[in-house]
Structure 1
């Protein structure tokens, strides 16, 4: 096989803004949009996404609740805040801080809001992050919340790059940026974290930590618990191994003496550590997935023996996340991929109380802690939802639980005769793999099935309200399935590690096992199974197309990795070597080539219809791999191949509700055509 680094006829498509490459993408996009035009569905989805009655999922900062609100009149959004009292009363007194659409018109830049970082208590300022095209690169501007305007005199400002910034105090930031001599890593992220004082030149500030060019990035954060600022600067050597340092001014930062593959969180004088692999401390072995808590001071002095395990995983129960309130540590636990929220009391030996939602439903729910203010009180806001249960915002208390529904989104499709069930497939090596199925209660196969998955980076796929799939797929009698394959985090770090690098094939074997289990159960037939994935999930379904084409009737592949020989040389690809391996290492390439869809294309094979989509502005994966895959399939095979590329939107592939609705309408029209309407697909 010819090495594409030397001889790849589609390398010209890697020049993202080259006029010829853009013309190719535009021509293919026009054909795709014409073939799968679904204006009524697009209009309906946009109306749903713009619904003024949808739930606001806020962030809390002291006595204020913040939100970015998008609707038909404000497609880029209104950044706003309301008092906590009015929000809890169900009648928030929203005060618009920044109109993103108006700002874009004023500055002739189509800004997308990329978040905000609030100054410590007592300073009504925030850093506002704005992306010029929806990509990861963004500008940083200081904002006066009381005046509702950007700060004019000696503000903190950064031009567009993939920066990180956090407040140390009202006049000091900890920043990770490549600007003003900061330089970038091979992955395109900042190499240094620096303390920046108001009124000084950023280039004159000294680094707190500095990464090597071969590292992934530096990251920054500041903990303000109890009014004391503790800066945290991290050097990510790869995606899963990070050195962390704490700094409280003065001398050099102190190294946090925990395993580099652990996840950590500083909370005042405490540190929480979640292990990834087993950690031996003295004579004690803490299993991977264990959460330990102890004094920050002893850990920075190199003594991990003072850490106390507050959660230990089992075969079925794993830690998904954790949050602090004033007096409690709140855990989000997955028990066989079902959510539980536990409130731990450190004053009572870390005793646990399970927090309830108060919802009466037989649907399988995902419940997350969406906001808490550890400096204020024990109040928590939980977000509960299931495939058939609209988002429901619940206020409760971590110390004295009393759940109260604050708001629930209206249903956007009729779920009366639908049910969510959990099933288990058996993978090639005998591992049982769970999946969720949303289908009519009285299902009569074979039905058209839309199967989704991810399987990477320890990301869990949990039930989410079917805002898109409900109106676009379920209402028409389709079945929607989410597979919880290895590579994800549904059963803790071990579930992820099981499909890493040379074991990547396990994720793909898991996914096709689910597709085959659906057939074996009589739910469907292979020609009526479609699969859809994005990013790492795009790599997943790209491998379904090239390795298991007979098991699927159609494949939609979004913002994907596909050329695994060159992925480290494209956009942020070098940052994922720990997940996939290094293709420039001959030993690694021997296993990477087995899951590189671009190199698995065989002109002698028949492939199901496929749709590839991307965004020109995607600066994380980029559109080039989707372009090349579609071009090569069109050139070398007889396959039916469609391609769609939007300009804005970055890695999300759509920048506002209208663009998202239009993209989803095309995707579902493609699946409806391939799996439902075509001869041989059934009536």
Structure 2
């Protein structure tokens, strides 16, 4: 799961306004197939590539990397290999007597109509939600009056039936959201992806009439970024043709596009550099004023922010380059600091929220920052959104969620009050209702099903909807523990197992460790991420499930992430090893019975762990992974992550990358645990070649592996619940085969 500042993310894409959408990554491999051993019924990934004339190499291969041909995403040879591996994996794992039961239970949970209809957007007096179930696998975009929704009795009307639209238009549409122009919210920019890739088609939609606008704004398929300036003007960053993209594959040119004119006639207002990550437009409605900005992403973690004035000129904001734009409230730009800031004789601590006077900036006057909120040493501010007069801040306190309402008083001081949400929970800030000054938030725990609350200006929550339990939580216990890493750092982790469990048992550790993305404990029907109810299946059968909060995430603020950047990445791997060893030390598990799981950036993590400690781990789930750190920056969006990992084309950077790059560190003569790779051919963020090549290299050296690549789904892997349910069943049967059951 890599996270991105604006558009180029891995797993967790955080918008500049604090709203989040979940997306993901993928993989493929080499020439021969798995063989089923009739005697042992094990997956034996044929080690030798197909025979070929001596002295020749396959197309797109080199002496250093004979599997470059697997980077041909839809090359016939590569896809033939993928199909062979998929077939071998399914033929083996579907033989498990409980496979069909796992799959059907997972599908029933995912399709269950007793799910929270999340308030994805609140627009005036309407709540908008994307609803997916068995009848509507791609989703219904629907609306309900806010008052009925808040009362727990929504009156839904379908706005767009994504499945029906795809069928009518002959497209495999996947919903990627809608941006509706405030304050009347009549006109929307709807983003639809063919097959789930990051590239979207953007089409103007009339929400009042319920149809696409004839001769409205339309952007062809591309990784576009677009924002409403006014009802007749868009600020557009897209693929304008040759030399219009960054090296990371994202747009670098922002243009103002007027209604009724061709896109080619749009006026350029900003051009970034080819070496930048991306350029992104941002627009925020603040009362009756609409503020429009342009973000130049210089690296993944640094940017320049500019205000687009009423005259069409850009004015640089006084933000530090590593600060994160959050939102606008009452004419104040809100930003989060990633390093300390000294200004006007004051020091603002890293992780703090600060505010600048936008009216002063717009008028060309100087302005100094105000302190909005400073987290404590054990806290980290994660999400920030605004309603009309309240700034809603979701924070972590020792990895437990807190929600705060922050206001600016007449005395120009900011005050903070905590909402009375359940303690020791994960909190997800869903959306805000502007005019009502209300926030919607979901609270849940590993054993506590999600409940949606409406939190009013007083901070008192009202329950909107609770989900029924999907399993008997009274049978299990959850506790937070701390392991000690190699350098003495305390690493928190959550442990779930049966109550009163005694003796060592198989344990599955899920971790991420990067891109400031904190891993908070959610209900077991959704853990680990993108594997549906795998966590629930696992603990039900007497095993231990662990969520590890290793460094690289955002659990404890900027330093928790910064401490493992670039040459310090090994610390995150050490943290994972420390959690595994703590399970052994405390008798929860033993060597030979510990599995690890990671996806996206977590693929780097589990790949490095696999090659560094094959003695410690006996199963590895690698989802949509990065594995080839020598070539990652030349594959799809990889160049955007140089700020996180380093640049392999710079010898000094490759010196530290080469020490852990999973693909380059697979050694002949070493017995590695059998990895399960899962991915998507349509992933256009993390290249599917990472998983393919890693599997090929392991197979070449005689190691077993499992492999499953979906043709659709993009970085999110599964395009619908059927695919997600199948993956959960495959992973569960894999874990049982490799780790066994409780003794």
Q: Does 1:125 align with 2:125?
A: no
Q: Report if aligned partners of 2:371, 2:414 keep a CA contact under 8 Å in 1.
A: no
Unaligned 5+ segments in structure 2 are: 1-60, 526-532
State the shift of 1:390 in Å: 1.1
Q: Report if aligned partners of 2:86, 2:709 keep a CA contact under 8 Å in 1.
A: yes
Q: Report if aligned partners of 1:534, 1:558 keep a CA contact under 8 Å in 2.
A: yes
Count of matched residue pairs: 669
How has the CA–CA distance of structure 1 residues 420 and 302 changed in structure 2, closer, same or farther, with 3 Å as cutoff?
A: farther
Match of 1:98 in 2: 160
Q: Report if aligned partners of 1:182, 1:192 keep a CA contact under 8 Å in 2.
A: no
Q: Distance in 1 between matches of 2:722 and 2:665?
A: 36
Q: Report if aligned partners of 1:78, 1:100 keep a CA contact under 8 Å in 2.
A: yes
How has the CA–CA distance of structure 1 residues 306 and 323 changed in structure 2, closer, same or farther, with 3 Å as cutoff?
A: same
Query: Which residue among 294, 300, 305 is the counterpart of 2:356?
Result: 294
- Spell out, residue by residue over 1:401-444, the C-alpha distance to the aligned partner (whole angstroms, 9 max, x if none): 22111101122122112122111111111111111111122121
Match of 1:255 in 2: 316
Q: Does 1:564 align with 2:636?
A: no
Query: Which residue among 523, 534, 550 is the counterpart of 1:465?
Result: 523
Q: Secondary structure at the match of 2:732?
A: helix
Larger CA deviation: 580-589 vs 37-46:
37-46
Query: Which residue among 471, 475, 478 is the counterpart of 1:413?
Result: 471
Q: Secondary structure at the match of 2:149?
A: helix
Q: Distance in 1 between matches of 2:401 and 2:609?
A: 29
Query: Which residue among 80, 95, 98 is the counterpart of 1:23?
Result: 80
Q: Does 1:424 align with 2:486?
A: no
Match of 1:187 in 2: 248
Query: Which residue among 470, 484, 496 is the counterpart of 1:438?
Result: 496
Q: Distance in 1 between matches of 2:439 and 2:677?
A: 41
Q: Distance in 1 between matches of 2:658 and 2:608?
A: 11
Q: Distance in 1 between matches of 2:568 and 2:292?
A: 37
Q: Secondary structure at the match of 1:458?
A: coil
How has the CA–CA distance of structure 1 residues 198 and 6 changed in structure 2, closer, same or farther, with 3 Å as cutoff?
A: farther
Q: Secondary structure at the match of 1:344?
A: strand
- Spell out, residue by residue over 1:96-123, the C-alpha distance to the aligned partner (whole angstroms, 9 max, x if none): 0111111111111110001010012235
Unaligned 5+ segments in structure 1 are: none
Q: What root-mean-square deviation, in Å, do the aligned CA atoms of Structure 1 and Structure 2 show? A: 1.7
Q: TM-score, normalised by structure 2?
A: 0.88
Query: Which residue among 619, 622, 645 is the counterpart of 1:554?
Result: 619
Match of 1:524 in 2: 589
Match of 1:391 in 2: 450
Q: Distance in 2 between matches of 1:436 and 1:25?
A: 36
Q: Report if aligned partners of 1:337, 1:462 keep a CA contact under 8 Å in 2.
A: yes
State the shift of 1:266 in Å: 2.9
Q: Distance in 1 between matches of 2:262 and 2:610?
A: 52
Q: Distance in 2 between matches of 1:301 and 1:430?
A: 51
Q: Report if aligned partners of 2:357, 2:367 keep a CA contact under 8 Å in 1.
A: no
Larger CA deviation: 114-123 vs 598-607:
114-123
- Spell out, residue by residue over 1:103-152, the C-alpha distance to the aligned partner (whole angstroms, 9 max, x if none): 11111111000101001223512111000011111100111112211111
Query: Which residue among 392, 400, 407 is the counterpart of 1:338?
Result: 400
Query: Which residue among 70, 79, 82 is the counterpart of 1:13?
Result: 70
Q: Report if aligned partners of 2:330, 2:389 keep a CA contact under 8 Å in 1.
A: no
Q: Report if aligned partners of 2:195, 2:714 keep a CA contact under 8 Å in 1.
A: yes
Q: Report if aligned partners of 2:309, 2:362 keep a CA contact under 8 Å in 1.
A: no
How has the CA–CA distance of structure 1 residues 123 and 537 changed in structure 2, closer, same or farther, with 3 Å as cutoff?
A: closer
Match of 2:642 in 1: 577
State the shift of 1:379 in Å: 1.3
Q: How does 1:75-114 map to 2 (within 5 A)?
A: 75-114=137-176
Q: Report if aligned partners of 1:5, 1:566 keep a CA contact under 8 Å in 2.
A: no
Q: Distance in 2 between matches of 1:580 and 1:40?
A: 41
Which protein, 1 or 2, shows the higher relative CO under an 8 Å CA cutoff with sep ≥ 6? 2
State the shift of 1:299 in Å: 5.1
State the shift of 1:305 in Å: 5.8
Q: Distance in 2 between matches of 1:453 and 1:298?
A: 44
Match of 1:664 in 2: 728
Q: TM-score, normalised by structure 1?
A: 0.95
Match of 2:569 in 1: 504
